[in-house]
Amino acid sequence: MRLSFLGGAGEVTGSCTLVEAGDARFLVDCGMFQGGHEAWAKNLAALDFDLHRLDFVLLTHAHIDHSGLLPRLAALGYGGPIHVTATTAELLEVMLLDSAHLQEKEAEWRWRHSDARRRHTMPPLYNVNQARICLSQLHTIAYETEFRPHPAVTCRFHDAGHILGSAIVDARVRTASGTRRLVFSGDLGQAASGLLPAPARIDSADVLLVESTYGNRLHRTPGETRAELVQAISGTLDRGNVIIPAFAVGRTQAVLYALAGLARAGSLPPLRVFVDSPMAEKATLITRRHLERLSPPVRELDDWMRRHPAELQLRYTHEVEDSIALNQIRSGAIIISASGMCDAGRIKHHLRWNLPRSECAVLITGFQAEGTLGRRLVDGARNVRIFNDDIAVRAQLHTIGGLSAHADRDGLLAWLRGFAHAPGRTFVVHGERDTAVGFGDTIKSELGWTSVEAPQRGDVHTIG
């Protein structure tokens, strides 16, 4: 059996692993690379193998760094099944169509700003029609339901607690030397977040791939996180605005429930909140259709929000004109917008207008990959480039790690302690190089596991 790490190894985006065992050949995730000037070229060069020999795809969840190249996979010739949870399928209908629209717009921009001789080499990664074709290939599977995507492979999806529909992939693969159990953690949620149930425990694996996004740090406690939010918001709204870059799926909803909880507790006054992301609105509607998947306290909070609309005055902006109008607000507004890493979408406009104002605040609530605008802000840049303009960074910057949908170092270790014994091989993925290597060392020292590796993109490992 061979594992080829095509992305999400030694880096956080582009998650994609090719598994070859006997006559079975499948992918786990097919994510888009994000961040930095080289991302587009990496996406264009990805999936460079014989797609016609691919039997099926297993998807851990809907986030674009795990799903964003699925339409390109289909456009390049893959016509087989893509197995997902039902809620992931709902979210993908929103996210992949939006991604395709962005691909078309970005290709149009590149065409307009490129030399005429290069224009034929700069197409979109995929278009909206190709994304629709990809969506028709989705096969939905319930949690804890065994399915057989290939005669030699049986699988189950377990709840990963990361976002709605997120799954741990549990695959048993029959090889010439016997059956091997492969477990792919996907992205694991943090049990203390309170939004979703804790990740399902797995007791054994022959081969384990575990994420390490926050494998080198600890999140603050829920109480500390609430105090951080109160301090950042209450000290800002009377003079300026609070800008919150947030991923449209998962993070926006977590932020909204966190704000509602503070308003209900009286820790903050009635709040005026704008969600400036059509995709985030659709994702929030999907979330509220699946309240049974959320934790009981969050279900109660959602009910409180419906009964007390004046305490959290929530407005979604649809048209571009409505988004532009937000930039005329000088104080008292909380603006939540995508993208979460600040590299695209409407958030860039809000940062353009509010970063230079010392009376405003920017709340970073998610991981910022290398090369992104969000990462430059977190790293302390005093000037950034937005829309070809140099923008001074005078706003107060707050990093609220406790709202992350990822488990931290101790959360990851707690999940790994659920294994009755060490897997035969453990691969630490979905983390920047130093983080993945460091977390691998932590696993060895804390758990006593010996066969732990941190692969890089392009590595191929043979499993006996």
Task: Let me know whether 7 and 125 are in one domain.
Answer: yes
Task: Let me know whether 64 and 202 are in one domain.
Answer: yes
Tens of pLDDT, residue by residue over 271-300, are 999 999 999 999 999 999 999 989 888 999
* Average pLDDT score over residue span 59-81: 97
Task: Let me know whether 340 and 424 are in one domain.
Answer: no
Question: Do 63 and 340 touch, CB atoms closer than 8 A?
Answer: no
- Token pair, residue 176, equals 């010439």
pLDDT of residue 388: 84
> Could you give the CA distance from residue 279 to residue 336 in angstroms, rounded to a whole number?
12
* Average pLDDT score over residue span 148-153: 97
pLDDT of residue 140: 98
Q: What are phi and psi of 225, to 5 degrees?
A: -65, -45
Tens of pLDDT, residue by residue over 415-436, are 999 999 999 999 999 999 999 9
3 state SS for 31-82 = CCCCCCCCHHHHHHHCCCCCHHHCCEEECCCCCHHHHCCHHHHHHCCCCCCE
pLDDT of residue 105: 81
Fill in the amino acid letter for 401: G
Last residue of a domain, one of 403, 429, 447: 403
pLDDT of residue 192: 66
pLDDT of residue 193: 67
Mean pLDDT taken over the chain = 93
Tens of pLDDT, residue by residue over 325-349, are 999 999 999 999 988 888 888 999 9
Last residue of a domain, one of 403, 429, 452: 403
Query: Any bridge partners for residue 247, and if so which?
Result: none
pLDDT of residue 212: 98
Fill in the amino acid letter for 361: A
Least confident among 103-117, 177-191, 430-444: 103-117
Categorize the per-residue pLDDT at 81 as very low, low, confident or very high, splitting at 50, 70 and 90. very high
pLDDT of residue 118: 57
Task: Let me know whether 196 and 231 are in one domain.
Answer: no
CB atoms near residue 152 (< 10 Å): 16
* Average pLDDT score over residue span 373-380: 94
Fill in the amino acid letter for 343: D
**Which is nearest to 381 in space by CA: 404, 405, 364?**
364
Last residue of a domain, one of 403, 434, 449: 403
Domain count, the chain: 2
Task: Let me know whether 55 and 90 are in one domain.
Answer: yes
Task: Let me know whether 183 and 238 are in one domain.
Answer: no
* Average pLDDT score over residue span 250-265: 94
Distance set, CA 379 to CA 375, 376, 408 (Å): 6, 5, 20
DSSP code for 15: -
Fill in the amino acid letter for 301: L
Taken in order 100, 56, 147, 17, is the CA torsion positive or negative? negative
Categorize the per-residue pLDDT at 116 as very low, low, confident or very high, splitting at 50, 70 and 90. low
- Token pair, residue 371, equals 């090369």
* CATH code where residue 326 lies: 3.40.50.10890
Tens of pLDDT, residue by residue over 232-246, are 999 899 999 999 999
Task: Let me know whether 190 and 229 are in one domain.
Answer: no
Choice between 256 and 35, residue whose per-residue pLDDT is larger:
256
DSSP, collapsed to helix, strand or coil, labels residue 182 as strand
Task: Let me know whether 54 and 74 are in one domain.
Answer: yes
Contacts of 253 (CB under 8 A, 6+ apart): 195, 283, 284, 287
Choice between 125 and 144, residue whose per-residue pLDDT is larger:
144
Task: Let me know whether 276 and 174 are in one domain.
Answer: no
Domain boundaries, position 309: 222-403
Question: Do 2 and 22 touch, CB atoms closer than 8 A?
Answer: no
Query: Any bridge partners for residue 2, and if so which?
Result: 20, 462
Least confident among 38-47, 62-71, 446-455: 38-47
Task: Let me know whether 241 and 386 are in one domain.
Answer: yes
pLDDT of residue 399: 92
Distance set, CA 181 to CA 82, 184, 209, 454, 455 (Å): 20, 10, 11, 19, 19
Question: Do 371 and 35 touch, CB atoms closer than 8 A?
Answer: yes
Task: Let me know whether 354 and 418 are in one domain.
Answer: no
* Average pLDDT score over residue span 24-38: 92
* CATH code where residue 200 lies: 3.60.15.10
User: Residue 186 pLDDT > 90, yes or no?
Assistant: yes
Categorize the per-residue pLDDT at 387 as very low, low, confident or very high, splitting at 50, 70 and 90. confident
pLDDT of residue 176: 84
**Which residue's entry shows tokens 């851990």?**
60
Choice between 443 and 102, residue whose per-residue pLDDT is larger:
443
Question: Do 245 and 362 touch, CB atoms closer than 8 A?
Answer: yes
Tens of pLDDT, residue by residue over 365-375, are 988 888 899 99
* Average pLDDT score over residue span 137-164: 97
Least confident among 388-392, 427-431, 453-457: 388-392
Burial call 355-372: b when 16+ CB within 10 Å, e when fewer: bebebbbbbbbbbbbebb
Q: Is residue 400 left, alpha or beta, with left meaning phi > 0 and alpha meaning psi from -120 to 50?
A: beta
**Which is nearest to 254 in space by CA: 122, 46, 406?**
406
Task: Let me know whether 158 and 185 are in one domain.
Answer: yes
